[in-house]
Amino acid sequence: MEAEKRPLIILTGPTAVGKTALSVKLAKALEGEIVSADSMQVYRRMDIGTAKVTREEMEGVAHHLIDVLEPWEEFNVVRFTAMAREAMEGIYERGHIPVLTGGTGFYIQALAYQVQFESHKESDYRQKLRTLAEEKGPDHLHAMLAQVDPAYAREIHANNVKRVIRALEFYHETGRRLSEHNSRERERVSPYDLHYFVLNCDRALLYDRINQRVDQMMALGLEGEACGLIREGLTEDMTSMQGIGYREFFPYLRGERSLAGTVEEIKKNTRHFAKRQLTWFRREKDVIWMDKGTCENEDRLLERILDQVGR
Kindly list the domain boundaries of the chain, sorted by start residue: 7-115+188-309, 124-183
Q: Work out the average pLDDT over 39-52.
A: 97
- How sure is the predictor about 18, in pLDDT bands with cuts at 50, 70 and 90? very high
Average pLDDT, the chain: 92
Instruction: Give me the phi and psi of 115, to 5 degrees please.
Output: -65, 135
List all residues 6 or more positions away from 231 whose beta carbon is below 8 Å from its beta carbon.
253
pTM: 0.82
The CATH number fitting domain 124-183, selected from 3.40.50.2000, 3.40.50.1110, 1.10.20.140, 1.10.599.10: 1.10.20.140
Single-letter amino acid code for the residue at 121:
K
Please check the confidence at residue 28 and state whether its pLDDT lies above 60.
yes
Task: Say what the pLDDT of residue 310 is.
Answer: 82
End-to-end Cα spacing for the chain: 26
In tens, the pLDDT along 169-221 reads: 888 888 889 888 877 776 778 999 999 999 999 999 999 999 999 999 999 99
186 neighbors 285 (Cβ within 8 angstroms): yes
Regarding the domain with residue range 7-115+188-309, which homologous superfamily does it belong to in the CATH classification?
P-loop containing nucleotide triphosphate hydrolases (3.40.50.300)
**C-beta atoms surrounding 29 within 10 Å:** 15
